[in-house]
Structure 1
Amino acid sequence: MKIPNLLTLLRIILIPVFLLVYYLPYEWAPWLASGIFGLAAVTDWFDGYLARRLDQSSPFGAFLDPVADKLMVAAALVLLVEAFASPLITVPAVIIIGREIVISALREWMAELGKRASVAVSSIGKIKTALQMLSILILIAAPLYSALSWAGVVALYGAAILTLWSMLLYLRAAWPYLSEDI
């Protein structure tokens, strides 16, 4: 098995570990859970880097890498929605998860048309992902409604805004194909 694929599998294995650790009845549990999420976020960047650097790209990795990312982010956002129990977190979480569903379906459909490159990951998507990971990292570790958690909330809203923006860019790129038979 290729190293990038092992890192992607590690990210998936870390999801239940991350959740279990977060719910441990210890003061340090959220910090450790945040560290586990941070490790997963780093493996997300690192597996892509290694796949390119070592020429170890594979169809398995191309499929599983975005799945692992979405699973980890969705699990963390659901955890945050529960922890905060507030529309303050629920609204951007729904925007982010909803966008991932829409864009995943759009990419699959565009691939069927042979137009997958029209909806390839953009630089805005990469910035969105970095901001999203940072916000989740902060919100998992910081005590609810502390000064640090407010910084995480601001970053989460920034990620949600970039999420909507990137979704609009993807939909605009796909619109000629989507609107053919309207």
Structure 2
Amino acid sequence: MRINLPTWLTLFRVALLPVMVLVFYLPFHGHNITAAIVFLLAAVTDWLDGFLARRMNLTSAFGAFLDPVADKLMVAVTLFLLVESHPEGWSSIVMAVTAAVIVGREISISALREWMAEVGMRATVKVAFIGKLKTVMQIVALVVLIVQHEKEATALRLYHIGEGLLVIAGVLTIWSGLYYLHAAWPSLRGDAPRQPSARGDD
């Protein structure tokens, strides 16, 4: 199997995850900013590999499989790091619930898309604008929270802004999930005609 440039970028994004985890915990000055830069670099490759795949017509079944996996790993691992490092209190409960909503939605929609592909209706649940907006909000919120996760007194206000942005991302996550569920509902009810499977055609 020949791996093209967009897929190499996706693999690079996956490889950045353990680097981010390591930097997140290493006790050196500026480790939080470094971890945020690694996360941003991964987010940029997410946009770049899709852009190159479309612009240069470099699509592959392996790349189509790996790209969403890398995206969800990036978000889930970062959320786990932030929840684990969060102090106790009501704020930690809000953070944990928001993280659970975001990860749960990603798992649910991935399963929905897999099932829709099986019945040949994959295009029904294609990415919508609300899903892209949710992704941007998540990235901004997570970058702020990574940078400020040590929560020094002078940076506490900015950290709370990051928490608020993550809650908004959680709301958008639910909204986009309901959008996809509504689009797929005729097929789930059995009202839409079953078509040949389009699996691997992304």
TM-score by length of 2: 0.86
Runs of 4+ aligned structure 1 residues displaced above 2 Å come to: none
1:90 to 96, 115, 128: 96
- Three-state SS of the structure 2 residue aligned to 1:26 is coil
Q: Which has the higher helix share?
A: 1
Distance in 1 of aligned mates of 2:110 and 2:29: 37
CA RMSD of aligned residues (A): 1.3
CA distance in 2, matches of 1:27, 1:137: 17
2 CA distance for matches of 1:96 and 1:30? 23
Hey, what's the Cα distance between the residues in 2 that align with 1:99 and 1:4?
A: 26
Q: Aligned residue for 2:18? A: 16
**C-alpha distance in 1, partners of 2:31/2:93?**
24
Which residue pairs with 1:160 in the alignment? 170
Aligned to 2:194: none
Give the Cα separation in 2 of the matches to 1:122 and 1:36: 27
Query: Do structure 1's residue 148 and structure 2's residue 152 form an aligned pair?
Result: no
Displacement of 1:27? 3.0
Matches within 5 A, 1:4-83: 4-83=6-85
Q: Distance in 2 between matches of 1:62 and 1:27?
A: 38
The residue type equivalent to 1:29 in the other structure is H
Q: Which moved more, 1:172-181 or 1:152-161?
A: 172-181
Partners of 1:61 and 1:123 lie apart in 2 by 22
CA drift of 1:88 comes to 2.3
Amino acid at match of 1:166: S
Paired with 1:49 and 1:57, the residues of 2 have a C-alpha distance of 11
Percent of paired sites with the same residue: 54
What is the CA–CA distance in structure 2 between the aligned matches of 1:155 and 1:4, rounded to whole Å? 30
Instruction: Could you tell me which runs of 5 or more consecutive residues in structure 2 were left unpaired when the two chains were aligned.
Output: 192-202
Q: Distance in 2 between matches of 1:53 and 1:146?
A: 42
The structure with the larger Rg is 2
> Where does residue 169 of structure 1 map in the other structure?
179
Q: Which amino acid aligns with 1:131?
A: M
Q: Deviations over 1:70-124 (max 9, x none)?
A: 0011000000111114112111100000000100000000000000001011111
Match of 1:138 in 2: 144
Letter of the structure 2 residue corresponding to residue 28 of structure 1:
G
Alpha-carbon distance between aligned partners in 2 of 1:116 and 1:78, rounded to the nearest angstrom: 30
